[in-house]
Structure 1
Amino acid sequence: MDDRDEAVRLAVYRGLAASGRMPAHDALAAHASLSEAEVAGALERLAAARHVVFDEEHRIVLAHPFATRSFGFSVMGGRTIWWGGCAWDAFAIPHLVPDEPHALIATTCPACGSPHAWTVSRTEEPDAPQVAHFLVPVAHVWDDVVHTCSHQRIFCSEDCVEAWLSRTGNERGYVMDLPTLWRLAARWYEGRLDSPYRRREPAEAREYFASVGLTGPFWGS
């Protein structure tokens, strides 16, 4: 990336990590030593490169793993509350943010509305019976990333997954237990708050998924 784009990317991610809020354009401009017009151009290029996601009103709604509105997951640290962009992202935030050894992740089951919360740390897999359901295979995440993230949710059990699928008419996606979700999230965003940041190539991503126990159907075709 252009150095200016990388400076804006870093300011976005560090701002979200520190406060849970998207920095304003003037704050990004000051941090990156750019004009607000240059910041706007950089954000367009970052969106094209899949570092940030605009919503239908052209506001940044996702800078994975952070979201700027609810996607069903809150992540509460000792000093900051974040929105997690999906189940994967919510479990990734405690691994990524500095000075927060653990966080309380909360959500509700999409099938029955039961509330769930887990204290998630960087060192121990959660001992919990719930399951995560990923409706969209990873290979198709960016076909409609907002739709994808809206449908990476945690259910009480596989029975609740099946009840939700029956009610909504969706086909079954990939189901994993929460220890597997924790392992998936643990190192996926390593380096995102540092510079320069390099995204994984598809082959590297497949290797990473295999290393945490996720098989071919998780990737999709």
Structure 2
Amino acid sequence: MVDGSSHLADEGHVASDVWRPGDFSCLNEALDHAARGSHGMTFFDGRGEVLRELSYRELRERAVLAARRLIALPGVSRGDRIALIAETRPEFAILFFACEYAGLVPVPMPATVSLGGKDFYLRQLRFLISNSEARAAFATEEFAGFLRDAVGDLPLALVGTLEDLDEIAPAATVPPSPVPDENRLRTVHIRQYARSARRAHHAACGDA
């Protein structure tokens, strides 16, 4: 669980109290603006205990660096898809925004494994990664084993955690932010993929 209304103490960092409507041309532009202030996210574990506090400024800094590492991966170029296990954890937020800064398309994957449903989850995950034509895939340490088992021999540039990505030498810069038309097209692609994945999932359940 995550609370996006957290106020994080940050001495020496001047907060931006100027209200701005949501007229940003892309998501990372909104984070650029939020990073000027002192707000952030607070992540909780399943017991409701605070797991991690992440300011928007730190989120931006880590996302930009991760973006430089993503575009340094062999065979990964602007517009490619990156699969992300969608846990409510700081790693997911960092990698999601890293994709935005790198001009890549983040493709969230399910993070629910039912009791006795491991084999089905692995098949579902493999199908979604293959069907989305993802070029790399990431999860937290808790889900990394599932992810690697699901990917198997699929030809991805990297399969692992944010810590694994940290081992990659970063590119010198990140690409420029997507223009509005390109950003809308990226959104359409994600929605179209989500619909096709749901149809395939229902078909698979019907055949079971």
TM-score over 0.5 (shorter chain): no
Which has the higher relative contact order, 1 or 2, with Cα contacts under 8 A spaced 6 or more apart? Answer: 2
Query: TM-score, length-normalised on structure 2?
Result: 0.28
